[in-house]
Each structure stands twice: as C-alpha cells, then as structure tokens.
Chains A and B, each alone.
Chain A
Amino acid sequence: MELLRLTGIHFAYPQRPPIFQGLDFSLEQGERIGILGPNGAGKSTLFLLVMGLLKPQKGEVWALGAARKREKEFQEVRTSLGFCFQDPDDQLFSPTVLEDVAFGPLNQGRDKYQVRLLVADTLQKLGLGGFEDRVTYHLSGGEKRLVSLATVLAMDPQVLLLDEPTAGLDPDTEARLEQVLANSGKSWAIISHDHGFLRRNCTRLLRLQAGRLLPAS
C-alpha cells in the first residue's frame, strides 16, 4: 500500500532558480527510505512539500489515501505524518518538555490523563526519563533533538519524516535512537549525511542531486 506519492513536482522559492522540475517520490507501507544529497540540494524542501507547509507550483501531492492540495486537506493528515524539523529549536515551543511532548497527542483529542502516561513512556524509551519538567530552551543540543523526536513519536504517526535526526548525537544516543526506530515498526523517510546510519536503518537509499531523486547504494 502506498502511503505517500509526489508526482511531477515543480518548486522554486520566490526569486530563486527552481529546485525541482518534475520530481517524483513515493513511499510504500513498510518501506524505510534514506535520503542523501549535498547541502542545499532541496532535501528539507522536499519534506516541507510533503507536509503541505510549502505548496508546489506544479505537480501533485498524494498522502494517506487522498490527493492533498488545500490547507484543510493537509490538516487532516499532518499528525499522521510525523515530521521532525532539521533544527530542534524550530520544533520545541512550549515552556516545559511535558507540555511540548503532550501538545500533539492533545491536538489529536486524547484524554489528558492518558497523555501524561504516554509522555512519560515516550521519554523513557528515548532515555529521557524524568525530563518532564525541564525547560525546553535550556536543554543541550542533543537533548533538544531527542525531545523533538519524542514530540513526533508521541503522536504515533503512520510515517516518520526525520530531517537529519542524528546530527549532534553522541554514539550511545544514536544507538538508542536506532533501537527506538527499529522497535517502532513504522515506515519512514530519513534525511541524513550519515551513510552508515542510513544503510543500517533503511530498506532503500535515494540521492537527491540536481533536482532529481536517484537510487543510491
């Protein structure tokens, strides 16, 4: 079953040369895609397009069962597409870790009491047990990244879209992240420059270069 499909995407930032001219991308249920590519190739832009945060000038975005064009149509699927920003400072906005991780599940309409348990459980799995009352903007870089992953995992999305999730993690923490990912049983697309990490955790590698996605090894 297909979860995501982008066809014939054309996109340029205002007053900039086009980044994509007819890009295709798709993700099947159970697939784990690793995306490589030089800086500035448009990897982050690709995810922003999938999430409907940027709108393509031409082409179609299809996600979780329907074509998505208007804001309302994207709203229906956003919490099922667990997108984690490249910069954790963009991701975290609540004063405390508890509130930030709880934000998504509460928006999904879950019960407050259950959400508390869910947050504790998610943090525990990432080795952040007891971080609930920490102030998000006083965390270290690596801790911020783990918490921003927690905010996504707590929504129990169908797909994970992670933008350079291992940047700034020490080897132990990276290993824990790999374990959490493996145990999650989810499908994902991960952007990374860490070739080894992608090889270990993905079923298929793609390289984004000059506006095209090509198979890589």
Chain B
Amino acid sequence: MHLETFAHGHSPLHRLDPRAKLAAALAFSLLLALARAWPLLWAGLGVGLLTVGVARLPLVELAKRLLAVNLFIAMLWLLLPWQVVDSPGWLGLGLAYHPHGLDMALAITLKSNALVLVLMALVATSPINQVFHALAHWRAPVKLLHLFFFFYRYLHVLHREYHRLDWGLKARGFSPGSNWRTYRTYAHVSGMLLVRSYDRAERVYQAMLCRGFSGTYWVLDHFAWQRRDTWFLAVWSLLLLGLFALGRTLA
C-alpha cells in the first residue's frame, strides 16, 4: 500500500520536525486564502514549485496527483463563466457568458495548485502517523484525530482486501477483457470488497476493545526540535512576510 509515497525520502525537508512543517503549511495556506492580487497568486505557485524542488519528490507520482486535482478544477473552468439568466441568453439555453468567471477559475487553479504542492512537499514528507502525533501534541480535538486515524487505517484495509481478491482472481488465471464475464466478476469483487472491509473493520475494533480501548489514542514518540527546524521556520517566515508585503504594496 503506498499512500505514503513521499514520506520516505532523504531531502532536507524530510528530516524536519513534522510540527515545524505543519505550522509552515498552515501559515502558507492562510496567506494564500487571503491573497487577491495576481502577482501574489503566481508567486504562491512559485513557492509551491520551489518547496517541491527542495523536497526532491518523484516527478511521475507528483504529476499523477496534480493531474487528479486539476481534472476536478477543469470542471470549474467549464462551469464558472456561465450564469443562469431570465432572458433566452446563449443559444436560448437561458445562460449568459461572463468572462469574469474565467478570472475566478484561474485564481482557484493557482491557489489550489500552490497549496497542493506545498502540502505534498511539507506534510506528505512525514509518515502520516507522525503528522497525527504532531497534531495530538497540539491538542487537536481527539475525536477529529480518531476520525483521520481510522479513515486512514481503513483505507489500508480496503486496499489490502482488494489486493487479496485481485490475487485470488489472477492466481486462477483470470484476465480481464471487455465482456460480460469480466463485468460480472468485477461487480462481485467490489461487492465482496465492501463486505469484507466492513467485517475486517469490525474485528479490528473488537481487537481494540480487547486491549482496553476507551477513546484515547496514545502518543509515544516524542519529537526532538532541532536547530534546523528553527532555521527552516525563520526562512519560511521571511518568505511569507515578503509575499505579504508584496500583496500590501499591490493592494
């Protein structure tokens, strides 16, 4: 299972304390959310590319994820420039074309990509359980943490069950084609996947009960804040301050 593709590299960013990286990502996303001026948005994207470069993330994986994000955003480009009006409008469909919507779509595209890049470079470069721990250290709401934790855990479960079923098919010489037998087999597999994952999730929960689980997820690891974490935060703050100043002078 490789949800943590980026977590095990050797870049300077990988070695940082997850708390420093989380704080940095949080500050960046706040700044980005408030940004209005175009140069600032482009600069944000630049910062995203820069951090990804420093993190030396594998390009193919990176491209796959960006593609997924931008497929979703592509819909916005199609939808945002149109507005419903009372008059017959364009081709009598009751729609009016507003180029202003394109600006909005571009702004969203820039912000999302910048944010995703920074999150991948800063947050995805720590193993996910360390990120949870960092959040727990900050006294994030326990319920929310559990939700994340179990969501993540059961993604693994689903994925593993899927592989088992898949191997089961392959081991018995199944090769998919575009025919009814394939469709029916896949329908069975997806049904089975749901049932099995549900069962498994239930038993895992039972196993937790057997070990006295009563709602606390423990933090064992204690992070050691290093000088490099302070340096990183200092440089990052300067960068964000620069962006902020840029935004103010343009406003």
Chains A and B are bound partners:
yes
Chain A residues with a Cβ under 8 A of chain B: 48, 51, 53, 75, 78-79, 81, 83, 85, 87, 89-91, 93-96, 98-99, 102-104, 106-108, 112, 115-116, 137, 151, 155
CB pair B200–A89 under 8 Å, yes or no, is: yes
Bound Cα distance from A92 to B66, whole angstroms: 33
Can you identify 9 A-B contacts, CB atoms within 8 angstroms? A81-B210, A90-B207, A95-B128, A96-B129, A103-B213, A106-B218, A107-B211, A116-B220, A155-B212
Q: How far is the CB of A173 from chain B (nearest CB, A)?
A: 22
> 10 closest pairs, A vs B, by CB?
A107-B212, A104-B211, A90-B203, A79-B212, A95-B129, A106-B218, A53-B206, A83-B210, A91-B207, A93-B204
Count residues of B near A (Cβ-Cβ below 8 Å). 22
Bound Cα distance from A81 to B207, whole angstroms: 12
B208 CB contacts on chain A under 8 angstroms: 93, 103
CB pair A85–B212 under 8 Å, yes or no, is: no
Chain B residues with a Cβ under 8 A of chain A: 1, 127-129, 153, 156, 160, 200, 203-204, 206-214, 216, 218, 220
CB pair B200–A99 under 8 Å, yes or no, is: no
Q: How far is the CB of B217 from chain A (nearest CB, A)?
A: 9
Most A CB within 10 A of own CB, among B128, B200, B213: B213
B218 CB contacts on chain A under 8 angstroms: 99, 102-103, 106-107, 112
Interface of B is mostly: helix
* Contact for B212 among A53, A94, A104, CB less than 8 A: A104
Bound Cα distance from A155 to B212, whole angstroms: 10
Bound Cα distance from A99 to B211, whole angstroms: 13
Least CB separation from B164: chain A residue:
A89
Bound Cα distance from A51 to B1, whole angstroms: 32
**Known A-B contacts A93-B204, A137-B160; A98 and B212 likewise in contact (beta carbons under 8 Å):** no
Q: How far is the CB of A216 from chain B (nearest CB, A)?
A: 27
* Contact for A85 among B129, B156, B203, CB less than 8 A: B203
CB pair A53–B209 under 8 Å, yes or no, is: yes
CB pair B211–A103 under 8 Å, yes or no, is: yes
Bound Cα distance from A103 to B211, whole angstroms: 7
Most A CB within 10 A of own CB, among B156, B200, B207, B211: B211
Q: How far is the CB of A1 from chain B (nearest CB, A)?
A: 23
CB pair B211–A151 under 8 Å, yes or no, is: yes
Least CB separation from B161: chain A residue:
A89
